[in-house]
Amino acid sequence: MKYNLGTYNYKVFESIKHVDEDGNEYWLARELQNVLKYKEWRNFYDVINKAKLSCSKSCENINNHFVNVNKMVKTGDSIRTISDYKLSRYACYLISLNGDVKKEVIAMAQTYFIVKARKQEIFDKDYDKLSEDEKRIYHREIIRKANQSLNNIAKESGVRNFDKFHNAGYKGLYNGETANDIFKRKKLNYREDILDNMCSEELIDNAFRIVHTNSKLKKENIKTEKDSCDVHYNIGKIVRNAIKEASGTMPEDLPTPKESLKFIDKKH
């Protein structure tokens, strides 16, 4: 069965989520393996080990996020024991980051678990209770991770001029504006990042553009720079049209925050 991004967000990952007697959410590695389309356990086990290493480097207790559990399974006339893991949301997040980026579902898992993990990480507040700057930090981090994945896929899709490739997406979303045009319109200082100077709504628009460009490049197995740029432009245009149809504010008409996220980060 083929799923689109929305289906993965709200049906697939949620459908294999479990809740223990204390109300804690967890996922079973064997079930997640199937959703992430790893045919062999040994290959997925390697991804789990990489995720555990990432967990230890972030000074988290591995045993709090990767709990080894055993299962009894029947094969023919015999019963044997296989290992499995109870995974926290954070563990799933790390697994998605260490997974095979060539798999379309990995990009979708990254989006799902990054969103959920970041929401849980930011002061354990409900999203609606976050300040505007906190929402900006949250969405900027999502874009940072999504752009890393997009650059990897774009390189495999024949892109060599990354400025041209990223400008194609901006042109579609911003009605012809390049990154430099956006920079000038926002009246930013030398070497300031335009993404660090966007409100949360504008960042959401760009995150949507990035994630779906990533998905389409992989799905259609694009192999030339021109086709990759065309895909990025068209996705940007689709997002723009969706905003228009919803009577939303065009991204170029959204206000520029008073402070850059880089400045806010230094201040705090």
Of 80-84, 138-142, 247-251, highest mean pLDDT: 247-251
Long-range contacts of 209-212 (CB under 8 A, 24+ apart): 209/169, 209/172, 209/173, 209/235, 209/236, 209/239, 210/143, 210/146, 210/147, 210/150, 210/169, 211/5, 211/107, 211/111, 211/146, 212/5, 212/238, 212/239
pLDDT of residue 13: 85
* Between 19 and 1, the higher pLDDT residue: 19
Domain that holds residue 112: 1-121
* Averaged pLDDT score across all residues of the chain: 86
159 or 191: which carries more pLDDT confidence?
159
Q: Judge if 132 and 177 occupy the same domain.
A: yes
pLDDT at 60 exceeding the cut of 70:
yes
Query: What share of the chain in percent tops pLDDT 90?
Result: 54
Is this prediction's pTM over 0.75?
no
Instruction: Express each pLDDT in 198-233 by its tens digit.
Output: 999 999 999 999 988 988 898 888 999 999 999 999
Instruction: Could you list the beta-strand ranges (E) of 111-203.
Output: none
> pLDDT tens digit string along 182-199?
999 999 998 899 999 999
CA distance 140 to 259: 14
Does the structure show a pLDDT above 70 at 123?
no
| pLDDT interval class at 4 (50, 70, 90) | very low
93 with 130, same domain: the answer is no
Co-location of 117 and 203 in the same domain: no
- 24-36, pLDDT tens digit by residue? 889 999 999 999 9
- Asked which of 93, 121, 149 is the last residue of a domain, the reply is 121
- Which of the listed residues 121, 155, 187 is the one where a domain comes to its end? 121
Domain's final residue, options 87, 121, 155? 121
Give pLDDT, residue 104. Answer: 74
Same domain, 7 and 88: yes
**Mean of pLDDT values over 164-188:** 97
pLDDT of 127 over the 90 cut: no
Q: Is pLDDT of 125 > 70?
A: no
Kindly state whether residues 112 and 133 are assigned to the same domain: no
Same domain, 165 and 88: no
User: Does the pLDDT at position 155 exceed 90?
Assistant: yes
List, in order, residues 6 or more apart from 68 with CB less than 8 Å away: 83, 84, 85
Question: Are residue 178 and residue 241 in the same domain, yes or no?
Answer: yes
Q: What is the DSSP letter of 38?
A: -
Residues 88 and 167 in one domain: no
One domain for residues 115 and 128: no
Are both 130 and 255 inside the same structural domain?
A: yes
Instruction: Compute the average pLDDT of residues 73-85.
Output: 81
Q: Are residues 129 and 260 in the same domain?
A: yes
Using the predicted structure, report yes or no on whether residue 1 has a pLDDT greater than 60.
no
Mean pLDDT, rounded, for 248-264: 93
Same domain, 184 and 202: yes
- pLDDT at position 7 is 44
Mean per-residue pLDDT, 19-24: 79
- Total domains in the fold of the chain: 2
